[in-house]
Amino acid sequence: MNEVTKAEIDPRLETPIVVMSCPEDLSEFATPEQQEEMRRIYAQPGIIVVDNVMGEPILTGLREGLSDYRRKFKENFNFGRPETESFKLAYSPAVERITELTRMLFGYDLKDGGTMSYRPLITADEPLHYDTYDVECGQMALMAVLNFDIRPRVWNVGPTFREICRDSAADIEEILKKKKPGESPSVPIRSAGLKGFGPLKAGTPLHRIEFAPGAVWYANPKTISHQIVYGGGAHFQQWNIDVSDCACQACVFEELAVKVPNLRVPAPATAA
Ligand SMILES: [Fe+2]
Ligand SMILES: [Zn+2]
């Protein structure tokens, strides 16, 4: 069954969403010019969706771990992976295909499959946020997600980090005026949004995307605000890519002259 990703675009947002279909043979998926274009769209930042990457036999194997358990905030992403032979026979080729797709689509010389995370639990109704994990200045998070669930994975996508710094600088300075050393700016911005303040508060423009089962998509979770409306099983692979023109949160604050205390100050080492 060929299912396709659906996107409802809010024209007030700048994030482009590109949806394409995956060929069986990845070897000539993109020319060097197309790879350059993909890198440009990803870094803009935009979202690139490739439908029908994974066929039914592999999806069926990955679904062995599916659970009705609804993951709570900060809980583990799985209870371990299934140990069956049929699961392993699906998992390894799935990882290889995502890795190869990523190489072919962007032209990056990836040494391995990156950091992997198998997430078979249900996630729903997240707050709108930028991810809080740390990516060094000078590097860019390249995230690939496979939806192996039986239902679409539904995301809302809000403004980019650059958009909020450009359009809501005063609010952001207010939200971050007590930022502690080592604290990710994403945390207080998310909390303020939940309390109805700042650029991520309810009512902000949102794209809505329903990622089809079998689709793989690429989105930088540090620079694109997003919220899982509903998601069953998904598998994540992430790489940190060296970039010459860094657009990390600290670099964007500096470029747009948003004043944030302790911007590049790491958390103090805990006393021994
Ligand atoms: Fe996230
Ligand atoms: Zn940077």
CA of 117 to the centre of ligand 2 (A): 25
Place of tokens 């089962």: 213
CA 34, CA 124: separation in Å to the nearest integer?
Answer: 35
> What does the pLDDT read at residue 1?
58
CA of 57 to the centre of ligand 1 (A): 28
262 is a domain residue? no
Distances (CA, A) of 21 to 96, 214, 266: 18, 11, 42
What number of helices (H) and strands (E) belong to the chain?
7, 11
175 is a domain residue? no
Please name which ligand lies nearest the alpha carbon of 140. 2
H helices of the chain, in order, are 32-43, 56-62, 85-106, 161-167, 169-175, 186-194, 249-255
Please name which ligand lies nearest the alpha carbon of 127. 1
* Structural tokens at position 134: 């740390």
Q: Residues lining ligand 1 (ion), CB within 5 A?
A: 131, 221
54 is a domain residue? yes
* Contact predicate 153/211, CB 8 Å: yes
95 is a domain residue? yes
269 is a domain residue? no
Please name which ligand lies nearest the alpha carbon of 224. 1
201 is a domain residue? no
Q: Which candidate, 46, 44, 259, 244, places its Cα nearest to that of 165?
A: 259
* Structural tokens at position 201: 């508060």
Torsion sign (Cα): 31, 33, 37, 40 = positive
HEC string for 30-83: CCHHHHHHHHHHHHCCCEEEEECCCCHHHHHHHHHHCCCCECCCCCCCCCCCCC
Q: Tell me the mean pLDDT per 10 residues along the chain, length 272.
A: 90 96 93 97 98 97 97 93 97 98 97 97 97 96 98 98 98 98 97 98 98 98 98 98 95 98 91 58
271 is a domain residue? no
> What does the pLDDT read at residue 2?
74
**Number of domains into which the chain is organized:** 1
Contacts 24+ apart (CB under 8 A), 73-76: none
Distances (CA, A) of 90 to 52, 65, 94: 15, 12, 6
CA 94, CA 253: separation in Å to the nearest integer?
Answer: 38
CA of 110 to the centre of ligand 2 (A): 21
CA of 84 to the centre of ligand 2 (A): 43
CA of 32 to the centre of ligand 1 (A): 30
Residue 14: which CATH number?
Answer: 2.60.120
Sheet containing strand 153-160, strands side by side: 6-8, 207-211, 153-160, 224-231, 123-124
111 is a domain residue? yes
Q: Give residue 211's domain range.
A: 6-159+206-244
Pairing of strands 47-51, 17-21: parallel
* Structural tokens at position 265: 């100050």
